[in-house]
Amino acid sequence: MTPLAGFHFHFYQPPRENPWLGVVHNEWSAFPYHDWNERIAAECYRAMVAVAIEGEGGSLELVEPLTMSSFNVAPTLHHWMEVHAVDVEGSLRHEMAERSHRGDSPVMAMPAVHAILPLARPEDRRRLIAWGIADYRHRYGSDPEGMWLPETAVDEATLLDLVDAGITYTVLMPSQARRVRRAGEEWREVDQSSLDTTRAYRVVLSSGRSLRVVFGDGELSRLVAFGELLSDGNGLADRLAARAGSDGAALIVADGETYGHHHRFGDVGVAWALRRLREGHGIETSLGEWLESHDPVDEVELQPVSAWSCAHGVERWNSDCGCVTGERPGYDLAWRRPLRHALDSLRDELVERLTGALEDLVEDVPGTLTEYGRVLAGATTPVEFVRERAEGLSEEQVVRVLELVEGYRHLLYAFTSCAWFFADPADIETSIVLRYAQVAIEMVASATGEDLTEWFIDQLSGVRSALTGRAGRELWRGAVESERADAALVAAGALAEYHVHREYAHRRRGHYSYRVNGREVVVRDERTTRSTTFVGDVTTHPSRGMSVRVVGPAGEEEFDLSHLGHDVVARVGAGWLRGVGSHDYEGATDALAAELLRRPGTRDDDALLQALACAPRCVSPSGETALRRALMALVSHGLDDVRRETLGPLGRAVGLAEMFPATGTVDEFL
Rounded Cα gap, residues 146 and 329, in angstroms: 41
- Cβ-based nearer residue to Zn ion, 46 or 312: 312
Question: Considering only CA atoms, which of 522, 495, 525 is closest in space to residue 510?
Answer: 525
> Least Å distance between CB 229 and Zn ion?
25
Task: Kindly indicate which of the ranges 38-46, 152-160, 307-315, 498-506 contains the residues binding Zn ion, using the contact rule CB under 5 A.
Answer: 307-315
- Cβ-based nearer residue to Zn ion, 324 or 551: 324
> Least Å distance between CB 187 and Zn ion?
26
Which amino acid does the sequence have at 201?
Answer: Y
Cβ–Cβ under 8 Å, residues 616 and 557:
no
DSSP output for 219-280: HHHHHHHHSSGGG-HHHHHHHHHHHHTTT-EEEEEEEGGGBTTTBTTHHHHHHHHHHHHHHH
> Least Å distance between CB 86 and Zn ion?
38
Q: Binding residues for Zn ion, how many (CB under 5 A)?
A: 5
- Binding residue for Zn ion, selected from 130, 249, 310, 550, defined by CB under 5 A: 310
- Cβ-based nearer residue to Zn ion, 219 or 320: 320
Task: Kindly indicate which of the ranges 19-27, 32-40, 178-186, 323-331 contains the residues binding Zn ion, using the contact rule CB under 5 A.
Answer: 323-331
* 3-state percent breakdown (helix, strand, coil) of the chain, nearest 5: 50, 20, 30
- DSSP strand pairing (177-182 vs 210-215): unpaired
Task: Kindly indicate which of the ranges 1-9, 316-324, 367-375, 604-612 contains the residues binding Zn ion, using the contact rule CB under 5 A.
Answer: 316-324
Task: Kindly indicate which of the ranges 232-240, 312-320, 367-375, 498-506 contains the residues binding Zn ion, using the contact rule CB under 5 A.
Answer: 312-320
The distance of Cα 16 from the centroid of its chain, to the nearest Å, equals 6
Task: Kindly indicate which of the ranges 166-174, 294-302, 311-319, 542-550 contains the residues binding Zn ion, using the contact rule CB under 5 A.
Answer: 311-319
3-state secondary structure of 528: coil
* CA angle centred on 133, ends 131 and 134, rounded to 5°: 65
- Cβ-based nearer residue to Zn ion, 321 or 632: 321
Q: Is 316 in the site for Zn ion (CB under 5 A)?
A: yes
3-state secondary structure of 424: coil
Q: Is 323 in the site for Zn ion (CB under 5 A)?
A: yes
Task: Kindly indicate which of the ranges 143-151, 196-204, 304-312, 526-534 contains the residues binding Zn ion, using the contact rule CB under 5 A.
Answer: 304-312
Task: Kindly indicate which of the ranges 138-146, 184-192, 219-227, 309-317 contains the residues binding Zn ion, using the contact rule CB under 5 A.
Answer: 309-317
Rounded Cα gap, residues 543 and 45, in angstroms: 45
Q: Is 163 in the site for Zn ion (CB under 5 A)?
A: no
Beta-strand runs (E) in 135-242: 154-155, 169-172, 177-182, 188-189, 201-204, 210-215
> Least Å distance between CB 13 and Zn ion?
22
Q: Is 336 in the site for Zn ion (CB under 5 A)?
A: no
| 639 Cβ contact list (under 8 Å, min separation 6) | 647
- Cβ-based nearer residue to Zn ion, 140 or 420: 420
Cβ–Cβ under 8 Å, residues 115 and 412:
yes
- The torsion angle over the Cα atoms of residues 162, 167, 171 and 172, rounded to 10 degrees, is 20
> Least Å distance between CB 431 and Zn ion?
23
Q: Which ranges of 541-602 does DSSP label H, i.e. alpha helix?
A: 566-578, 585-598
Cβ–Cβ under 8 Å, residues 535 and 519:
yes
> Least Å distance between CB 309 and Zn ion?
8
- Cβ-based nearer residue to Zn ion, 305 or 591: 305
565-594 residues near Zn ion, rule: CB under 5 A: none
> Least Å distance between CB 311 and Zn ion?
5
- Cβ-based nearer residue to Zn ion, 151 or 267: 151
- Binding residue for Zn ion, selected from 321, 445, 522, 656, defined by CB under 5 A: 321
- Binding residue for Zn ion, selected from 312, 549, 583, 644, defined by CB under 5 A: 312
The 431-460 site mask, x for binding Zn ion (CB under 5 A), equals ------------------------------
Which residues of the chain form contacts with Zn ion (CB under 5 A)? 310, 312, 316, 321, 323
